[in-house]
Chain A
């Protein structure tokens, strides 16, 4: 009898929660419950932090020598690239001024950054999401892009007063319009077919040039009243394999994300400085 009642109550809750829009009674109760649990979650995270840091320290020691070699080589290459980019940026600025070119919001100039720590994560494989410690009281809005030091993480899909749920790029529901930074080949980044946190760049025409090692960034397109939720130029990942077959309409491009989705401690939520009246799409 008791078990039957519990099952029915759970089913009713699933139905109400699934059908309800933001701000309904069930959502409000859930938000209040989440707010009440938040201090305990933060306390648990802080207790576990030293152990987690110790593990990370030993783990990083194992890779320190090979990382050092790679970083030295990267440093030399990036120094040269920085000088070239500085010249190119100045040139672009002047050309845009000449053309009176209007563009969509750019990253990071047109966005406010809200730093937040990761306080919890849904268990299991069904939701690729994290809960972060910043909410509407801090200025976080639904559909705000979320990044960390490595690149794009995902999108805010639910906001409470002091916490937000961020759906990760590795979630089945996520899709980001993106392009190859080198060749401008455009596509849509979504969950990849492989094991682990790999992504796929889909909808890339066969005539477009995408090569292994190319960097994929957000496209940040703008068309009439619609603009992408993501600003242009946020790094997403690097192309690890490119394939195409006669039967497929598009190239099969696998992307290794820059961000390590299994070890997210802190993120930055990007909120537009000026609220746009234009519609948004991914």
Chain B
């Protein structure tokens, strides 16, 4: 089975688990976001375009399942997938701290980005709730999920060794 099919199945399954099981779970006021963690791991392994496409698809599934404004989560997760992928393509890939660092940063980005988007749409959103009550516990919760989900993503989506890594760049002239 090609990695794209495995990635698609993984994103669909994690999106369903997210809306059905994890989203209703509140731990110390925060909610773990397995979809975001999987997207970050996928993007770090497979690059910015794969990350953005997976983010868009996963976000669209979440918006559809929750009957929310279509496209908001898709937009946020597209940006998450793209930026995480760019970090992986440039300096992050292979570094031990890349996954936890990106997960923490992207959790914050989704909170602030979501707040801005809802504000622009004229919806009343409590900044205190979005930033303090929810974001602060969500970061450690997502970091806890990062290790097992990263292992899972690596097992399913890791590119064959020796074909993707570049150790040096030689000038053509």
Contact = CB atoms under 8 A, between A and B. Distances in A.
Interface of A: 2-3, 6-7, 9-18, 26, 30-31, 33-34, 37, 40-42, 44-45, 48, 118-127, 129-131, 158, 160, 163, 165, 172-173, 191, 195-196, 262-264
A191 B126 contact: yes
B8 interface: no
A166 B17 CA distance: 20
Contacts of B125: 125-126, 172
Contact of B53 (A2, A14, A48): A2
B145 interface: no
Given A3-B82, A172-B126, A191-B126, A14 B121 contact: yes
Given A118-B24, A123-B31, A14 B66 contact: no
A31 B68 CA distance: 11
Nearest to A10: B75
B37 to A, nearest CB: 12
Contacts of B109: none
B98 interface: no
Interface string B52-87: 110010011111111111111111001100100000
Given A124-B114, A125-B129, A126-B114, A26 B70 contact: yes
A3 B67 contact: no
Given A41-B65, A44-B21, A173-B124, A262 B111 contact: no
Interface of B: 16-24, 26, 29, 31, 33, 35, 48-49, 52-53, 56, 59-75, 78-79, 82, 110-111, 114-115, 117-118, 121, 123-126, 129-130, 132-135
B52 A3 contact: yes
Contacts of A3: 48-49, 52, 78, 82
A158 B19 CA distance: 17
A124 B60 CA distance: 15
Contact of A11 (B61, B71, B115, B118): B71
Contact of A10 (B20, B56, B68, B115): B56
Given A2-B52, A6-B52, A121 B66 contact: yes
B16 A14 contact: no
B78 A10 contact: yes
B48 to A, nearest CB: 7
B123 A173 contact: yes
